[in-house]
Chain A
Amino acid sequence: DAGVIQSPRHEVTEMGQEVTLRCKPISGHDYLFWYRQTMMRGLELLIYFNNNVPIDDSGMPEDRFSAKMPNASFSTLKIQPSEPRDSAVYFCASSWGAGTFLTNGYEQYFGPGTRLTVT
């Protein structure tokens, strides 16, 4: 398996521009997560989906951030308009979770991340 795929790997944009980050989860995984990593705040969960449905978006910082999962093999995280404080590494992760009462004991598989720089 190719693992979780993210694109682009690096994104440099100017303040005010729209940024779209893309993720392809591992085939068969039914949970997808978006995280943001910064030196100051560490690793933060932004939103996660189960079977393409958003379950918890309480970590999304502002209305400027939005995420979609139109099908089981694709998700986007959009920032519009972008600001310098959005500069971070954004990770997508996926996990298997269906089946038993131990469903939420499954580990997550992370993509390589997108390093976003907003100038």
Chain B
Amino acid sequence: AQSVAQPEDQVNVAEGNPLTVKCTYSVSGNPYLFWYVQYPNRGLQFLLKYITGDNLVKGSYGFEAEFNKSQTSFHLKKPSALVSDSALYFCAVRDRRSGGFKTIFGAGTRLFVKA
């Protein structure tokens, strides 16, 4: 069965500092991995994804994520946080072997960036 874990309910970081939002996953095969962001009263917005190839994936708004197969992790990172990055972040996984579109989302991590 597929599952996604986001071990931190909230991450606090000062503006200008690097940020990391953690994600680990479990799938029976090879995964497609995604990060989405949700601002208050809005739908989820796609940030980036890992499909194949380079383990370091770059996405929108300066975010990047590193796929680590041995650790089954896909942590979201940004070198310098902005106050406007404060939002709810979701990691998601899809088993590419299943052939379907069923995506499992993590519980979400709230990022708070302090000025």
Contacts and interface: CB of A to CB of B under 8 A. Distances in A.
Interface of A: 4, 31, 33, 42-43, 45, 48, 50, 55-56, 91, 93, 95, 97, 102, 104-105, 107-113
B67 to A, nearest CB: 13
B22 interface: no
Contacts of A43: 44, 90, 105, 108
B32 A104 contact: yes
Interface in B13-62: 32, 34, 36, 41-46, 49, 51-52
B43 A4 contact: yes
A111 B44 CA distance: 8
Interface residues of B, number: 25
Given A48-B101, A102-B52, A113-B42, 7 more contacts: A4-B43, A43-B108, A105-B49, A105-B94, A107-B49, A109-B46, A112-B42
7 contacts: A43-B105, A55-B100, A56-B102, A102-B51, A104-B98, A104-B101, A107-B34
B99 to A, nearest CB: 7
B54 to A, nearest CB: 15
Given A109-B46, A113-B43, A104 B105 contact: no
Contacts, number: 59
Contact of B101 (A97, A102, A113): A97
A104 B46 contact: no
Contacts of A97: 101
A4 B32 CA distance: 23
Nearest to A50: B101
